Amino acid sequence: MREDTRRWIEKDKRHCWHPFTRQGEWCAEGHEPLVITGGDGVWLMDSEGRRYFDGNSSIWTNVHGHGRREIGEAVREQLERVSHVSFLGQTHPAAIELAGRLCGFFPRGTLDRVFFSDNGSTAVECALKMSLQYRQQTGEGERCGFVSFANGYHGDTLGAASLGGVGRFFDRFRGAGYPVRFVRDLLELRGLGREESGGVSAVVVEPLVQGVNGMRLWPAGMLAELRAWCDAEGVHLILDEVMTGFGRTGTMFACEREGVVPDFLCLAKGLTGGTLPLAATLTREGIYEAFLGGAERAFYYGHSYTAHPAGCAAALASLDLFEGGRLLERVVERAGQMAEGLVRIAGHGLVREVRQCGLIAGIELCGPGGEAFPPESRVGERFCFGARRHGLLTRPILDTVVLMPPLCVSGEELDFSLDAVWKTLEEGILEG
Ligand SMILES: *Cc1c(COP(=O)(O)O)cnc(C)c1O
């Protein structure tokens, strides 16, 4: 190991605390975390000079590859002009332009307002608070709860976490957040009595695919039916497109696939092309108007870095890259190629099921007899560790391996990643 690497790892173990991480194992003697020091397109380089395919788009964020010159230049120019503007009391051109561009993706008179924040969790927090405050200000104060789906994920801040249906993450804090009724599916939602649905302010859902739930797909048509239920019951529809937004599923936004416009749309991860933290909550003018009037009607919410100019500049540059390169057409092409490649993988004896939506894939592993592994065997983690030797870097969700390349991936690069998955499977990494 190089001297630099050794020093960085040693210091990390002394001072850093990593998310979703068993720190005891992280800091153990034998654990050598990768120290990433460079990126170029779909590739990441570590401090030992090794190169890896970024198989989960740097935790589902990266769109145009690492080190994209156009985004870097836009950010540098913005920082040199003015590095921060408080959106509380002032405004600035990059945020103004970006808000207009985001609304421009939707028919006029639908989503015409943008509220900026910093990350996916805060984008959801804003939608929740806006929905509740709207109810209070329109004489519907009895609508003070939410409906969320089992196994859904909407972020880690307290409000967003209370909507999370992943027990292993959130059960510890149950009762501390919003009142939430969890349902498994539309059937259960429709079974709610009038009394119960009358107390619901909004339903929150990840459209098309539940990311943290091992990339599980909703049945086709689910979203449109959910929209219809919300309309019939007078309930807001909050779409959490933090993962699915910005081309990941093959259309700019997943909701387009079923012709649905939500009441709130939450965007983050890919908004800046996956370069800087920035989030946006879009909503309807009709909802916004309930916040006009006296001081008591204002939306008292914001962060120091709301609408950060560098983030907005990155987002504008990212949107330009979508338009310039016919990126979405290429995503659809690549997704077709991925589907073909996944057929062979799905046929492997150690794969239970493969799920795919656009350039998002979940490969669920199983034992040779099709049996699920006991959780303590941590097969998904071991698989991903083994895949590194074939130049693939990714993370599992339990025993589901995520393959979600940056959207700029070439055909050859995509084949490389599928091949790395195959080789790892062939090594029988799951045994022992
Ligand atoms: C990642 C994610 C979030 C949370 O976003 P952060 O930026 O990590 O706070 C919320 N919802 C979905 C669907 C996500 O994938």
Nearest-atom index, ligand 1, CA of 277: 7
Query: pLDDT over 70 for what percent of the chain?
Result: 99
Greater pLDDT, 173 or 222: 222
Mean pLDDT within 166-174? 89
User: What is the largest distance, in Å, between two alpha-carbon atoms of the chain?
Assistant: 67
> Residues near ligand 1 with C-beta < 6 Å?
60, 119-121, 124, 153-155, 206, 211, 240, 242-243, 268-269
pLDDT tens by residue, 290-309: 999 999 999 999 999 999 99
Distance 59 CA to ligand 1 centre (A): 10
Question: Residue 432 pLDDT more than 60?
Answer: no
Question: Residue 32 pLDDT more than 70?
Answer: yes
pLDDT band at 324 (very low <50, low <70, confident <90, very high): confident
Taking the CA atoms of the chain, what radius of gyration do you get in angstroms?
22
Q: pLDDT at position 428, please?
A: 81
CB 5, CB 48: distance < 8 Å: yes
Question: Residue 49 pLDDT more than 60?
Answer: yes
Distance 61 CA to ligand 1 centre (A): 10
Mean pLDDT within 188-199? 96
Residue with tokens 């939430």: 180
CB 226, CB 185: distance < 8 Å: no
| CA nearest neighbour of 61 among 270, 235, 362, 205 | 270
Question: Residue 7 pLDDT more than 80?
Answer: yes
Mean pLDDT, the chain, whole residue set: 96
Distance 148 CA to ligand 1 centre (A): 15
What is the C-alpha to C-alpha distance for residues 425 and 350, in angstroms, rounded to an integer? 7
pTM, 2 dp: 0.97
DSSP sequence for 166-188: -HHHHGGGTTSS--EEEESSHHH
Q: pLDDT at position 430, please?
A: 60
Distance 269 CA to ligand 1 centre (A): 7
Residue among 57, 59, 154, 210 to mutate when testing ligand 1 (max atoms within 8 A of CB): 154
Distance 120 CA to ligand 1 centre (A): 4
| CA nearest neighbour of 313 among 100, 104, 72 | 72
Question: Residue 79 pLDDT more than 70?
Answer: yes
Reported residue count of the chain is: 432
Q: Identify the residue whose C-alpha is closest to ligand 1 atom 11.
A: 154
Residue among 206, 243, 265, 395 to mutate when testing ligand 1 (max atoms within 8 A of CB): 243
Q: pLDDT at position 174, please?
A: 86
pLDDT band at 122 (very low <50, low <70, confident <90, very high): very high
Look at strands 180-183 and 145-149 and give their pairing.
parallel
Distances (CA, A) of 428 to 51, 197, 218, 387, 415: 23, 50, 31, 11, 20
Distance 157 CA to ligand 1 centre (A): 10
- What's phi and psi for 287, nearest 5 deg? -75, -45
CB 352, CB 364: distance < 8 Å: yes
- What residue type is 311 in one-letter code? G
What is the C-alpha to C-alpha distance for residues 377 and 429, in angstroms, rounded to an integer? 12
Residue among 153, 209, 249 to mutate when testing ligand 1 (max atoms within 8 A of CB): 153
Distance 351 CA to ligand 1 centre (A): 27
Residue among 162, 238, 249, 269 to mutate when testing ligand 1 (max atoms within 8 A of CB): 269
Query: pLDDT over 90 for what percent of the chain?
Result: 95
Q: pLDDT at position 429, please?
A: 66
- As to burial, measured by CB atoms within 10 angstroms (0-12 exposed, 13-18 middle, 19+ buried), residue 204 is buried
Name the E strands within 88-196. 111-117, 145-149, 180-183
Domains of the chain: 34-67+326-431 (3.90.1150.10), 69-323 (3.40.640.10)
Q: pLDDT at position 375, please?
A: 84
Q: How many CA atoms lie within 13 A of 100 on its CB side?
A: 6
Question: Residue 385 pLDDT more than 70?
Answer: yes
Give the Cβ contact number of residue 81 at 10 Å.
Answer: 12
